Amino acid sequence: MLLRHARSLLFLPASNARAIVKARTLPCDMVILDLEDAVADDAKEEARAGAIAALGEGFGGRIGAVRINVAGTRWHGAEMVAVKASAADYVVLPKVETARQVKDVFSVCQKPVIAMIESARGVLAAAEIAAGEGCAALFMGNNDLRKDLGIPAGAGREGLSHAMQAVVLAARAAGIAVFDGVFNRLEDEAGLEAECAQGHALGFDGKTLIHPSQVPVANQVFGPDMQAVADARRLIEAATGGAERYEGRMIETMHVEEARALIARAEAVGE
């Protein structure tokens, strides 16, 4: 599956062997083995070895990635060397604030980099980061961003909306994929659904997740609506080129292109 078609991108601590096994049974589109904040300092080295072994075994057609620790930490260098030799499809770099940080990781790891935007500086540099060498996609890191902006933990996402839009704009201007941040409340399916719908409406391609129970919701919200796919097929058949009347509205070339993209996405996720 192409990264831009991914709906559900599941993080798990690379130190959690049971979660690694579980991930291979889940309908998620991407698995991200975390070596950063989800892993305690004294477990980082064992987690690194576990992540590399797990990526070698593969995730059965799911996209496989690993999130490394930032430059300046004592694990960063060894993680980059390990990732380079691994079967990871992508390397996820947290707390990115410059295009140079992405380029440096890309040049050592030789893997496309997904840059996490999780600070005010990162948001302000997002366009440059997205357009820079080696950058394959952007992830929102809303927990860290909220902290950096001084937004209280219990607040809604109003305070993040400008940043989320800036990050979507940056990704689209660079022609790369962009994914919404994680939803922390594990027992609030309605809240998750509302947040997925909000992210979808803002233009995100899919959502990063933290628990198996969140996967079906993200797949449903970010997956193609079958009625919309049927409508897209009819529109393509009816279109003759240029502006024309179609079922009481105007359509042009861009609507045909949009319809084709929707069908391609539906086919990519097997719907």
Ligand X SMILES: CC(C)(COP(=O)(O)OP(=O)(O)OC[C@H]1O[C@@H](n2cnc3c(N)ncnc32)[C@H](O)[C@@H]1OP(=O)(O)O)[C@@H](O)C(=O)NCCC(=O)NCCSC(=O)C[C@H](O)C(=O)O
Q: How far is CA 110 from the centre of its chain?
A: 19
Q: Residue 10 touches which of ligand X, Mg ion, none (CB < 5 to 8 A by kind)?
A: ligand X
- What's at 238, amino acid-wise? A
Q: Residue 211 touches which of ligand X, Mg ion, none (CB < 5 to 8 A by kind)?
A: ligand X
Lookup: tokens for 200: 């979808």
Q: Residue 128 touches which of ligand X, Mg ion, none (CB < 5 to 8 A by kind)?
A: none
Min. distance of Cβ 56 from ligand X in angstroms? 18
- Residue 228 is inside which H or E element, if any? helix 226-238
Where does this chain bind Mg ion (CB under 5 A)? Answer: 118, 141, 144
Min. distance of Cβ 226 from ligand X in angstroms? 28
* Cβ nearer to ligand X, comparing 129 with 266: 129
* Cβ nearer to Mg ion, comparing 30 with 262: 30
* Cβ nearer to ligand X, comparing 151 with 229: 151
* Cβ nearer to ligand X, comparing 59 with 259: 59
Q: Cα(209)–Cα(224) distance, rounded to whole angstroms?
A: 19
Min. distance of Cβ 234 from ligand X in angstroms? 39
Q: How far is CA 186 from the centre of its chain?
A: 19
* Contact indicator for 20, 32 with CB cutoff of 8 Å: no
* Cβ nearer to ligand X, comparing 198 with 229: 198
Per DSSP, the residues of 45-104 read HHHHHHHHHHHHH--TTSEEEEEPPPBTBTTHHHHHHHHHTS--SEEEE-S---HHHHHH
* Cβ nearer to ligand X, comparing 171 with 262: 171
Q: Residue 224 touches which of Mg ion, ligand X, none (CB < 5 to 8 A by kind)?
A: none
Where does this chain bind ligand X (CB under 6 A)? Answer: 10-13, 18-19, 22-23, 34, 37-38, 94, 118, 141-144, 181-182, 210-212
Q: Residue 134 touches which of ligand X, Mg ion, none (CB < 5 to 8 A by kind)?
A: none
82-87-89 Cα angle (round to 5) = 105
Min. distance of Cβ 149 from ligand X in angstroms? 12
Min. distance of Cβ 238 from ligand X in angstroms? 44
* Contact indicator for 164, 138 with CB cutoff of 8 Å: no
Q: Residue 104 touches which of Mg ion, ligand X, none (CB < 5 to 8 A by kind)?
A: none
Min. distance of Cβ 240 from ligand X in angstroms? 47
Q: Which residues pair with 73 in a beta bridge?
A: 71
Which residue shows structure tokens 């590399």? 52
Min. distance of Cβ 28 from ligand X in angstroms? 8
Strands (E), 95-216: 113-117, 135-140, 177-180, 206-209
